[in-house]
Structure 1
């Protein structure tokens, strides 16, 4: 979005931040309403500008800190994450790791995997396939909705096995 900001809104992100810094608002919605009403900015760009201005988006937080915070109180799951992370990033130099507040997205041309510590005892691994049947272990996407087509629930590191690694590789290849 930042790359298109100047073309679509007439100002750079830095110019929008300077403008917002002069406003008396304190709430996210107030900044957004101002941008939309006074400057005709679309909802998506208004939200993006406001998040960046308030440094409330994931990109304004250190990626390592985001992952550390995901596993606070869930430290027993971190080895599962580490094994998944290592396996996924070894698929190719084109894998983009994008930590968010509650999950880590793995992308190439599109997201193909999402790692989320859903409970204190379980990681949900979301995978996105073009057309793959669901099975006993390879469930429907569940809480991921349309972000993923399938979900695998992981409670132990040994569940990151050859079968799972093949599914991850297949999702990666389909995303390319």
Structure 2
């Protein structure tokens, strides 16, 4: 199984994205933010929006100015422990999904406070969340996917780009259909 990216690796890739989008590095942008006189997060986000700088680079600059959130600097193991301590029966289901997901080409694993994502070189294609004490949802970014078993609408699971989900209760649910859906989602997002 691939190792989840550390927050430092995610920070470095976001710095690279900042440079690609603006032509300027983190030191230059940190100086601009300091010189802007902005004193709170909402004002800084508005200031960055005015400069067409949103998404991950915006969050990076906000965190650089006001501090990184604890969930971001926590280890993947600590975050996963927080997600599955009260639902240990679902942890093997997550592990099975990660084995399948990371066997697909250049998939990166990103562990967040309440979910795990699978990311292609281009963007997130899957989201894994322990939704209830006995159900884990595999959300997929599958544009135009027909809603038929095992696919259900993914309302409230991640953002609007995750459009379908597969409910999973046991390791046995991570079958060939799920493997094929993960592969389809990856291919649709590279």
The TM-score normalised by the length of structure 1 is 0.76
Matched, 1:85 2:98: yes
Q: Deviations 1:80-132 (Å, cap 9, x if unpaired)? A: 0000000110112x101111111111111222111011111111100111322
Matched, 1:96 2:119: no
Residue in 1 that maps onto 2:183: 169
Q: Which runs of 5+ in 2 are unaligned?
A: 1-13
Which structure exhibits the higher relative contact order, with contacts defined as CA atoms closer than 8 Å and separated by 6 or more residues?
Answer: 2
Residue in 2 that maps onto 1:12: 26
Q: CA deviation at 1:8?
A: 4.1
Q: Tell me the secondary structure at the aligned position of residue 142 of structure 1.
A: coil
Residue in 1 that maps onto 2:128: 115
Q: How many angstroms apart in 2 are the aligned matches of 1:62 and 1:122?
A: 24
Residue 89 to residue 4, structure 1, CA distance change in 2 (3 Å): closer
Residue in 2 that maps onto 1:141: 154
Q: How many angstroms apart in 2 are the aligned matches of 1:32 and 1:174?
A: 35
Matches within 5 A, 1:33-72: 33=43, 44=54, 47-53=59-65, 54-56=67-69, 59-72=72-85
Q: How many angstroms apart in 1 are the aligned matches of 2:94 and 2:187?
A: 21
Q: How many angstroms apart in 2 are the aligned matches of 1:62 and 1:13?
A: 26
Residue 11 to residue 164, structure 1, CA distance change in 2 (3 Å): closer
8 Å CA contact 2:154–2:162 kept in 1: the answer is yes
- Number of residue-to-residue matches in the alignment: 167
Q: How many angstroms apart in 1 are the aligned matches of 2:82 and 2:175?
A: 26
Q: CA deviation at 1:66?
A: 1.9
* CA root-mean-square deviation: 3.2
Q: CA deviation at 1:47?
A: 4.0
Q: Which runs of 5+ in 1 are unaligned?
A: none
